[in-house]
Amino acid sequence: MKNTLFLAALFISIFKGIAQEQPNIVLLFVDDYGWADVGFRNPKFHTPNIDQLKKDGLNFNRAYIATPTCSPSRASLLTGKEPVRFQMVRHIIDSKEKAAKNNVPGGEFNLWPTDPVQMPSRNWLPLEEVTYAERLKEFGYYNMFIGKWHLGSKKYHPVHQGFDAQYGTGDHGHPGNYYAPFFKKGNPLPDSSEGTYLTDVLTDGAEKFIGEYDKEQPFMLSLWYYNVHGPHIGRKDWVERYKKEGLTGKDAEYAAMVSTMDESVGRVRKAIEAKGIADNTVIILLSDQGGYFSNAPLSGGKTGGNTLGEGGARVPFIVHYPGVTTPGISCDVPVQSIDLFPTLVEIASGKKPKTKDIQGKSLMPLLQGKKFKERNLFFFRSYEDQYTAIMNGDWKMVKYHSGRHDLFNIRTDRSESKNLIDIEVDRAKKMKKQLEKWEKEAVPEF
């Protein structure tokens, strides 16, 4: 009997030791944060905490969103799938009033008035889609969600998609004001006192979760900011500082939003250090699409008809995995938002994912400094004439409904100023065929 009890205790001890080796994971997902809007690329912005995260971790210079727009970007992160495959090609209209104003019907799908092909797009992430939270739960993780969801109304919220708890999450794509009460209807933070700033309130929640976490199982914290999406209302202290430095109007407001978000990154890292878990916590920072303002030297942006340009589809992406990533290293391999799902699964399980129904690939080889097999990356959205693209290494082709094709070498021309479609004829022909083949496979009939 004593031997049996001893063996049982030994196995429990071993199991706990294995469980404790699983790292905690913190995903910081920023809204509309441009690739160039970070201090280490543009000294206009004060982002010391993100700059430090870059020094401590691995910086992906060429990270992209599969469908660079609000809701689909989130869906690609959660599922590891190209969102067009489950017909989410635009953002979700988040109010009946706005839907009526834009002549967009409700129900499971919406239409967009200026979309040339009138492709229906989903109004929520289907519950049958498997999220990274559901997969991580299989490996013993506790999943906490804080902030912006924008993947459907209450019955499609995070707690119905594998997350154990949520905080500050409503049906809205953005707040009405970054100062309390934040939202006119359906406010998920009704107890916030007047004068409090939304990003700070969400960060308070993140600090509280980390500081009070007392479970033996590892956790994943998904902090999805409403920042730096409009309305562009910066925290007043930062606005004043940027004005003293010469910025005016919305430039000062936006820069202040960036710096407040950067403060949040620093506060979360300090909370992790205070908890004593910094050496066993992975920190990931990523944006959901390119910025609303200038994205120079990149072309395009969130709006303006060139969202598949580098300024619209390329985003900041940094991973700090203690003991795995080499500090201060940058990677120029093109990667995509769909790669996060299998990467998280491999981090959590310690094994290469075998999921066959996703398009993402685990980035663990790149995190470990190893080689990564070259592949095609595909992009798709349905708002205007420009709608899809293919990327292979340094080369990128963009396609329009009107029949136009653009071809760029991103390594030598990141501003996409030299269209090589009539010069690199053989390459263009090959990439056209590859893109057409993908469209037939991935784009559903409607």
pLDDT tens for the chain, 446 residues: list them: 434 444 444 443 333 334 448 999 999 999 999 999 999 999 999 999 999 999 999 999 999 999 999 999 999 999 999 999 999 999 998 655 455 555 555 589 999 999 999 999 999 999 999 999 999 999 999 999 999 999 999 999 999 999 999 999 999 999 999 999 999 999 999 999 999 999 999 999 999 999 999 999 999 999 999 999 999 999 999 999 999 999 999 999 999 999 999 999 999 999 999 999 999 999 999 999 999 999 999 999 999 999 999 999 999 999 999 999 999 999 999 999 999 999 999 999 999 988 789 999 999 999 999 999 999 999 999 999 999 999 999 999 999 999 999 999 999 999 999 999 999 999 999 999 999 999 999 999 98
Neighbouring CB atoms inside 10 A of 280's CB total 15
The amino acid that residue 44 corresponds to is K
Neighbouring CB atoms inside 10 A of 321's CB total 21
φ, ψ of residue 15 in degrees (nearest 5): -60, -45
| Beta strands across the sheet bearing 317-320 | 165-167, 142-147, 219-224, 24-30, 281-287, 317-320, 58-60, 329-331
Extract the tokens encoding 115: 């979309």
Extract the tokens encoding 116: 């040339």
Q: Are 377 and 336 in contact (CB under 8 A)?
A: yes
Start-to-end Cα distance in the chain = 67
Q: CA-CA distance, 393 to 375, in Å (whole number)?
A: 8
CA distances for 80 relative to 132, 339, 372, 446, angstroms: 8, 6, 18, 23
Q: Are 84 and 118 in contact (CB under 8 A)?
A: no
pTM score, whole prediction = 0.93
Q: CA-CA distance, 348 to 368, in Å (whole number)?
A: 15
SS3 content of the chain, % helix, strand, coil (to 5): 35, 15, 50
Helices (H), 130-232: 132-138, 198-212
Alpha-carbon 191 to chain mean position: 28
DSSP 3-state assignment of 376?
A: strand
Helix or strand run (H / E) with residue 307? none
